[in-house]
Structure 1
Amino acid sequence: MPTPSAPPRPAPIRPAQRPANPNFSSGPCAKRPGWRLDALSDALVGRSHRSAEGRAKLRAVIERSAALLGIPEGWKTAIVPASDTGAVELALWALLDARGAEMIAFESFGAAWAQDVARHLALPNTRIHKAAYGALPDLSGLDWSRDVVFAFNGTTSGVRIPDGGWIDPDRGGLAICDATSAAFAMELPWDRLDVVTWSWQKALGGEAAHGMIALSPRALARLEAAPAPRPLPRIFRLTTATTEAAGALIGGIFSGDTINTPSMLCVEDALDSLAWAERIGGLPALKGRAEGNLALVADWVARSGRVGFLAATEATRSCTSICLRITAPWFVVLDAAGQGRAAKAVAALLEAEGVAYDIASYRDAPPGLRIWGGATVEASDIAALLPWIDWAIDAIEGQHA
């Protein structure tokens, strides 16, 4: 007689509550709570960014960003084109020189910066310190007579550098920090940094295409001391230098005279985001909201038994780009053989249900999920999302049981 088949597994019960805002993308990120299009009603559309009013708005973004982040006296901050990518590339092209660089890579963007320096700038004396997704490289053996380039938070790996104690206070080179998914959510060690970059599209939920760069007195002194050892595209020039001679800092760039034409709609949106952050209590409130979101996920992971953090060490887990692995045995086997097919199916099901958009892991990262937990995401939405992930894991597993 044929062996009777196992009875079908009952369909998992859908959670009763849905996130009010299903946007958990890691960039562009969720808008601030309560955001509406009329927040942009004062935008200077149709006006020149060179007008007195346009310059005033751009200067306000620079000054209020610096105040909110606690950037020290003596630093200069500017708006630059091409988001955080443009800001980092500007720093690499304009500042790196023959002393060489120590490149720290523990996620895809750090790896990209390392490739740019080693292959495209062809900088001599370049060393790359690399770690697999979920870990940090050894930071104890760096040569601080060189420039050190690193991401403070791995947007694609969910790993953050927990503090600045590893940065040599007596360094000869510059500490160049890509902070795009850390700024406005984590404590940055400004006294140990020389260049910091970020974008509007991350922790404050701004619109894309604009980046920001902050330069310490040490970085500014290098810019003015000698010309860059390579021709610079116009959008990377912060001084009047030529390839033969040093030049003075172009001061207007740091007070609202942007290198290229910015979107005044995006400028208005950045001002709205900054005003919201100021209203809720500034940087401490922003950090508290992000850390609270991470704590909710951590409690759920501890209870789940089927999901784990990609970051192996608790102290290095990001509170913004929260990267998860699905550890249920069936998913581990299928994802190992199917290039992340099972984890992608979970993300696709959550999107189809309208409860979570854009939470599949980054294309170069191990299979899993990535939830943005920055301050613009409400804790109530994180809490509502987590049971839906359990439901989706059950549903996908049930389809293949």
Structure 2
Amino acid sequence: MSKPTVRPSRPFFSSGPCAKRPGWSLSALDQALVGRSHRAPEGRARLKEVITRSKNILGIPADWRLAVVPASDTGAVEMILWAIAGERGMDVLSFESFSGTWAQDLRDVLKIEDLRVLDAPYGELPDLAAVDWSRDVVLTWNGTTSGVRIPNAEAIPVEHDGLIICDATSAAFAMDLPWDRLDVVTWSWQKALGGEAAHGMVAISPRAAARLTEASPRPLPKIFRLTGKKGLLEAVFEGDTINTPSMLCVEDALDGLRWAESAGGLPALKARSQASLAVVAEWVEKTDWVSFLASDPATRSCTSICLKIVAPWFEALAPEARAKAVKHLTGLVAQEGAGYDLASYRDAPAGLRIWGGATVDAADIQALLPWLDWAYECTREEFAA
């Protein structure tokens, strides 16, 4: 087929760090509080503003606490697991790379004795009916590396004895989160609002706050501590931080939050992401060489849109050759400036991953797809026997 001529205006489809919001430029950081302490009143006020705007956009209940924490979403999840895991039995859902990491850490590092791991392969969800909600439960709302999401909150009881710890890093600001059914929710700035990396956020319910003040399963390094001698470190939820944040990143996070508000808040962000998924779904429906990795349409992610190549010649390749073919395909698109960072995650089945979060314009994904078709044909000629 002939090479396309129309390129995406913003060919940035990485699943993290993700595309900046439309119209972003470095001038958005002109007012960053550089050269000042984050502990100064002005610095603390901006961190507090991140917390307040995030709570308002996401609809976090007023009695929940929200904090900026170190080390992205990974740090946010780990600090909670290390603080409370082992106080009671735990169920963990493992169905892609990061949820698999939480399961591995709980089993092999923290060595939780009463642990059940509910596994599912890439493209599927574990059986939610098998979860024991009387235990602590660790779940990933949206599998960033598998494109599989929890479809709704129906399986999660409002009343539950344990804590439900939700890694929502590629779901926040793009999907509804059932705050009345969760107890801890984590995310990072580098996902749905296109912020800079290395900073995470953790939201905790009153029940989770009570558990944190009561739990003492193990000593914690300072970087993980949300409690002190007098209980919960309340200042952390008011704009203080455990360690030094980047005020450039704080300014960028505020820029993304202000854009989200101007765009129409969470309903508009969800609609933008769903529009991107709809564009890809229409293309997949008429394209014979590609399919969604998520086997159930109800579980398909609208942010991390993961695809598998189903052409017989590709499926006949050895795993190493499949990876090379995908690298060739995505490399051709990148060389043309038509799309970057489109290969599936390194631990996932060889295929494609298109970020469709709220900062991506569906029109750019529409412009990308002919380039994928073109690159596929070039790759088939190169690799097919």
Which TM-score applies when normalising by structure 2? 0.98
Contact (CA 8 Å) 1:334, 1:341: kept in 2 or not?
A: no
> Is 1:341 the equivalent of 2:329?
no
Contact (CA 8 Å) 1:349, 1:392: kept in 2 or not?
A: yes
Tell me which residue corresponds to 2:219.
231
After the TM superposition, which residues 172-187 of structure 1 pair with which residues of structure 2 at under 5 Å, given as runs?
172-187=161-176
Contact (CA 8 Å) 1:206, 1:266: kept in 2 or not?
A: yes
For residue 298 of structure 1, what is the amino acid of its counterpart? A
> Is 1:386 the equivalent of 2:369?
yes
> Is 1:357 the equivalent of 2:340?
yes
For residue 310 of structure 2, what is the amino acid of its counterpart? T
Instruction: Report deviation, 1:262.
Output: 0.2
Contact (CA 8 Å) 2:84, 2:215: kept in 1 or not?
A: no
Distance 2:232 2:217 in 1: 17
Contact (CA 8 Å) 2:128, 2:155: kept in 1 or not?
A: yes
Contact (CA 8 Å) 1:99, 1:145: kept in 2 or not?
A: no
> Is 1:64 the equivalent of 2:47?
no
> Is 1:396 the equivalent of 2:384?
no
Tell me which residue corresponds to 2:309.
326
For residue 255 of structure 2, what is the amino acid of its counterpart? D
Distance 2:88 2:4 in 1: 57
Deviates more, 1:97-106 or 1:287-296: 97-106
Distance 2:383 2:292 in 1: 25
For residue 150 of structure 1, what is the amino acid of its counterpart? L
Q: Deviations over 1:110-157 (max 9, x none)?
A: 000011111111112001001000000111122222100010000000
Tell me which residue corresponds to 2:357.
374
Secondary structure of residue in 1 paired with 2:155: coil
Tell me which residue corresponds to 1:151.
140
Distance 2:270 2:239 in 1: 28
Secondary structure of residue in 2 paired with 1:323: strand
Tell me which residue corresponds to 1:3.
none
Secondary structure of residue in 1 paired with 2:270: helix
After the TM superposition, which residues 102-121 of structure 1 pair with which residues of structure 2 at under 5 Å, given as runs?
102-121=91-110
Instruction: Report deviation, 1:399.
Output: 2.8
Identify the match of residue 291 of structure 1 among 274, 278, 286.
Answer: 274
Instruction: Report deviation, 1:170.
Output: 2.0
Unaligned residue ranges in structure 1 (runs of 5+): 1-11, 242-246
Q: Deviations over 1:226-263 (max 9, x none)?
A: 2421001101111114xxxxx42111000111000000
Distance 1:66 1:400 in 2: 50
Percent of aligned pairs sharing the same letter? 63
For residue 284 of structure 1, what is the amino acid of its counterpart? P
> Is 1:259 the equivalent of 2:242?
yes
For residue 221 of structure 2, what is the amino acid of its counterpart? P
Distance 1:263 1:160 in 2: 31
User: Which is higher, the Rg of structure 1 or of structure 2?
Assistant: 1
Tell me which residue corresponds to 2:228.
240
Tell me which residue corresponds to 2:118.
129
Q: Deviations over 1:84-113 (max 9, x none)?
A: 000000110112233121010010000000
Contact (CA 8 Å) 1:28, 1:206: kept in 2 or not?
A: yes
> Is 1:162 the equivalent of 2:145?
no
Instruction: Report deviation, 1:336.
Output: 4.4
Q: What's the C-alpha RMSD, in Å, of the aligned pairs?
A: 1.1
Distance 1:294 1:227 in 2: 42
Q: Deviations over 1:257-312 (max 9, x none)?
A: 10000000000000000000000100000000000000000000001111100000
Q: Deviations over 1:23-81 (max 9, x none)?
A: 10000000000000010000000000000000000000001001100001210000000
Contact (CA 8 Å) 2:290, 2:310: kept in 1 or not?
A: yes
Deviates more, 1:266-275 or 1:231-240: 231-240
Secondary structure of residue in 1 paired with 2:60: coil
Instruction: Report deviation, 1:340.
Output: 2.1
Tell me which residue corresponds to 1:220.
209
Secondary structure of residue in 2 paired with 1:338: helix
Instruction: Report deviation, 1:335.
Output: 5.2
Distance 1:383 1:101 in 2: 43
Identify the match of residue 200 of structure 2 among 206, 211, 219.
Answer: 211
Tell me which residue corresponds to 1:8.
none
Contact (CA 8 Å) 2:87, 2:215: kept in 1 or not?
A: no
For residue 141 of structure 2, what is the amino acid of its counterpart? F
Distance 2:261 2:319 in 1: 45
Contact (CA 8 Å) 1:159, 1:317: kept in 2 or not?
A: yes
Distance 2:193 2:318 in 1: 33
Q: Deviations over 1:171-226 (max 9, x none)?
A: 110010000000000011111000000000000000000000000011011112x2
Contact (CA 8 Å) 1:344, 1:367: kept in 2 or not?
A: no
> Is 1:309 the equivalent of 2:292?
yes
Distance 2:167 2:153 in 1: 14
Contact (CA 8 Å) 1:103, 1:150: kept in 2 or not?
A: yes
The count of corresponding residues between Structure 1 and Structure 2 is 384
Distance 2:269 2:318 in 1: 35
Identify the match of residue 256 of structure 2 among 259, 267, 273.
Answer: 273
Q: Deviations over 1:375-394 (max 9, x none)?
A: 10011100000011000011
